[in-house]
Amino acid sequence: EIVLTQSPGTLSLSPGERVTLSCRASHSVGNSYLAWYQQKPGQAPRLLISATSMRATGIPARFSGGGSGTDFTLTISSLEPEDFAVYSCQYYGGSPLTFGQGTKVEI
Amino acid sequence: QVHLVESGGGVVQPGKSLKLSCEGSGFTFSNYGIHWVRQAPGKGLEWVAMISYDGSNKFYADSVKGRFTISRDNSKNTVNLQMNSLTAEDTAKYYCARVYFEWLMVGWFDTWGQGTLVTVSS
């Protein structure tokens, strides 16, 4: 099983700031099997990034993903008020699929 | 427009059973793998189970193996999750999600339902 560890647990930031979230895998996952989701209170998760760095349809360019092997990142270049949410990484290369515990980005 | 809608949640006593359903619309449901993902209150996302587009392949998280059964009825555009021997640890919002690629069982999830809440309590 691939265990995903996200850090930090919570980030307190201001609009306009740049932020990089970390997702570390217990074993190499390859470049094609890592996704990122955004979730706001009371809402379902929303796909942001697939295959490590592919932005989903409609996702602004300020969101970018990177990394390889066991270390992956999600960067938001300049935080907008609507970006304050929980971000989760996901391994989807096989069973069991796994999620990181999430990083909360708060004001 | 692509939609998934879950139903069947509620309050159930420990040891009892509950059946969740996920109905799809706006796409050719029978072409897509479907997953269940749950989220306990205040916790992160946990993958639960998956079923292939034709129902021939199914996989489960260890935490639910032997207690939960996933199935699908493509004539009704529905995937079900039969949950037996429920415990307090199963209390969560349950989401169904669609795999992005047709025919594949695993992949990223491009569409999620709004979830249905399951509370296991005496």
Which SS3 state, helix, strand or coil, does residue A83 take? Answer: helix
Report chain B residues whose CB lies below 8 A from the CB of A35: 108-109
What average pLDDT does range A84-102 have in this prediction? Answer: 96
In the predicted structure, residue A6 carries a pLDDT above the cut 90: yes
In the predicted structure, residue A88 carries a pLDDT above the cut 70: yes
Instruction: Please report where in the chains the tokens 């749950």 appear, as a residue.
Output: B38
DSSP B85: S
In the predicted structure, residue A30 carries a pLDDT above the cut 80: no
Q: How would you write the pLDDT of chain B (122 residues) with one tens digit per residue?
A: 999 999 999 999 999 999 999 999 999 999 999 999 999 999 999 999 999 999 999 999 999 999 999 999 999 999 999 999 999 999 999 999 999 999 999 999 999 999 999 999 99
Q: What is the pLDDT of residue A57?
A: 95
What average pLDDT does range A88-102 have in this prediction? Answer: 95
Angle at A26 (CA atoms; ends A89, A91), nearest 5 degrees:
30
* Cβ distance of A99 and B115 shorter than 8 Å: no
Q: What is the pLDDT of residue A39?
A: 98
Report chain B residues whose CB lies below 8 A from the CB of A56: 110
Residues of A with CB under 8 A from a CB of B: 35, 37, 39, 43-47, 50-51, 56, 88, 90, 92-102
Q: Where are the alpha helices (DSSP H) in B2-115?
A: none
Report chain B residues whose CB lies below 8 A from the CB of A32: none
pLDDT confidence bin for A32, thresholds 50/70/90: confident
Q: Is the sign of the CA dihedral A46, A48, A51, A54 positive or negative?
A: positive
Angle at B99 (CA atoms; ends B70, B32), nearest 5 degrees:
70
Which SS3 state, helix, strand or coil, does residue B24 take? Answer: strand
Q: Compute the distance between CA of residue B79 and CA of residue B77 in angstroms, rounded to an integer.
A: 7
Q: What is the pLDDT of residue A31?
A: 66
When computed from its CA atoms, the radius of gyration of chain A, rounded to whole angstroms, is 13
Q: What is the pLDDT of residue A107?
A: 84
Cα–Cα nearest to B49, from B31, B62, B40, B39: B62
* Cβ distance of B112 and A102 shorter than 8 Å: no
Count of pairs with CB atoms under 8 A, one residue in A, one in B: 56
Q: Compute the distance between CA of residue A6 and CA of residue B96 in angstroms, rounded to an integer.
A: 23
